[in-house]
Amino acid sequence: MTFFRKFTVIHVLIIPCCVVNYVTPEENVDIPSIAKYFNTKGRYEEVNPHLLKDILAVNTSILQPPSAQCQPFHLTAIIRHGTRYPTSKNAKEMQQLYNMVLHNATGEESWLREIQSQWRMWYTEDMDGRLVQKGVKELKHLAIRLSKLFPSLISEEKLRGGYIKFITSSKHRCVNSTLSFKAGLTELWVITDQDFDHAINDSVMRFFDHCTKYVQEVDNNSSALSEINKFRQGPEMRRVTKKMADRLGVQYSLITQDMADAAFYLCAYEFAIKAVNSPWCQLFDEEDAKVIEYASDLREYWKRGYGYDINSKSSCILFHDVFNRLNKAASENKSGQQVTEAVTVQVGHADTLLPLLTLLGFFKDNVSLNSSNYATQTQRSFRTSHMLPYAANLLLVLYDCGAGELRLQALLNEKPVTFPGLSDQQTSMPRYEDVKENYRELLQGCDFETECQLFKGPA
C-alpha cells in the first residue's frame, strides 16, 4: 500500500559497487587501519576517497557518452539510507562487551586503559538504527553532487514542476534520508515557498518482508545460514577471538564470535558516526579484519546474494518497477512528449540493493563463497565493503543519442559500471535495446507473486 505525506521525496536506489579506490591509513592517522573492511558499516568516503578533500567534488568526464549528441532525459537513483546508529540488538551486544572489558580485562596497553577509564558506553537500545547527523549530511551532499553531474535533470525547474519524484521505505532512517536529500536541493536553490511530497512504498522498497518463500526458506530458516555458522566456528574465527582475548588479558572462553563482532562494530560505528579512531579498533589487526569481513560477506551472500535463487528473485517487484519506469520515459521521449518523471529517487536499505544487484548479475564470482574457501577468495568480487557503504547508490541514466538511439548508463556509488552479460566491446553506456535483450528472460518473467509463493503439492 502506498501512502503520501507532505514532505519532499526522493527516489533513490541503493546498489553495491565493484571498483573502489581506498584511502590508505598512512595518509590520515584518524582513519583506522581496518576501515576498508567495515562491510555495510563503512563510510561512503572509503569508496570515494576524493570526497575527503572536497565533499561536493564531481567529475563529469566519467559519464563519457559515445557522442556529444547524447543527452540525458531520465535518471532513476536507488539509494541506501545514510549513516545510522546501531540497532537495538547491536547496542545490547556492545553493552555486554563493554561490561566484560570493564570488569575482566587485565591487559596493560594504553588503549585498553583508555577504554576502562575514559571511554563511556553511549550507545543505547532506543537509538535503534536511527539516522545520525552524518547521515543527514551524506544525503544532502549526494543530492548536490548529482545536481552537478546531471544539471539538466536535477534542476530547480524540474523540482518545482513536479518532475522529480521521491519514494522511500517506511523506516525512519529512510524517510529521514529522503527528507535530507530533498533538503540538499531546496537549500541549494533556496526554495522556501514550496513543499515536495514523498511516497512510502514498502512493497517495492522492503520487498523482502513480503516475499513468503524468502521469509520462510531463508530469513527465518537457521539452516539456510549453515555456511556462515561453520565459518564462525572454524579456525580463522577462532584465531581472531584468541588474539582478542590475549590483547584484553582475559580467558579465551570469555570471547565469543558475537563479542568479536560487537568490538568490530564499536570500532566501525565510532568512526562512521564520530569520525574518531576509537581505542576499540586496537583489538584487531588487518588480518583479523579480513576474517570478520569475510564472515559478514558470507552472511550477505547466503542471506541476500547468490546463495539461494529466491534471494534475488524476491526483488522482482523492484526490478520491474525500475524497468517499467525506464520504458515509460523512453516511450515519452520517443513520441516527443515531456518526460513526466525526469528523476526518480528511491531510498531503501542495503537489503534492498543487494538482491537487485544480484538479480542484475553484478559482483558474481566464478566460485561460490563458502565456509572452507576463505583463503582462495581474497580477490572476490562479492565484497560488501566495496558495494554497500552508507548512502550507497545505483544510478540508471537514459540518454537520447539521436536518430532514435537510446543508451543506458549505470553508475554505482557515482562511478560507471558495466552491465554483466554484455560483451567486452560494449561501453559503459550500451544501447538500451541491448540492455533489455540482456535481461529479456527477467523482463518476460520474474513475477513477484509466482516466485514468492511457497510450493503447494496437488490437492
Residue 79 host element (H or E): strand 71-80
Question: Is residue 81 annotated as a catalytic residue, yes or no?
Answer: yes
User: DSSP states of 211-277 as a string?
Assistant: -HHHIIIIIT-GGGGHHHHHHHTSHHHHHHHHHHHHHHT--GGG--HHHHHHHHHHHHHHHHHH---
Contacts of 89 (CB under 8 A, 6+ apart): none
Look at strands 343-348 and 71-80 and give their pairing.
parallel
Residue 410 falls in which region: left (phi positive, over 0), alpha (psi -120 to 50) or beta: beta
The backbone region for 249, taken as left when phi is positive above 0, alpha when psi lies in -120 to 50, beta otherwise, is left
Strand, coil or helix: what is 191? coil
Residue 20 CA to residue 178 CA, distance in Å, equals: 25
Please identify which of the residues 81, 198, 349, 386 carries the catalytic annotation. Answer: 81
One-letter identity of residue 308 = Y
Instruction: Give the gyration radius of the chain's Cα atoms.
Output: 23
Please list, residue by residue across 183-206, b when 16 or more beta carbons sit within 10 angstroms of its beta carbon and e when fewer do.
bbbbebeebeeeebebbbbbebbb
In the sheet with 198-201, reading across from the earlier edge strand, the strands are 2-5, 198-201, 164-168, 343-348, 71-80, 393-400, 406-412, 415-417
Handedness of CA 64, 436, 350, 305 (dihedral sign): negative
Closest to 388 (Cα-Cα) out of 429, 343, 352: 352
Known catalytic residues are: 81
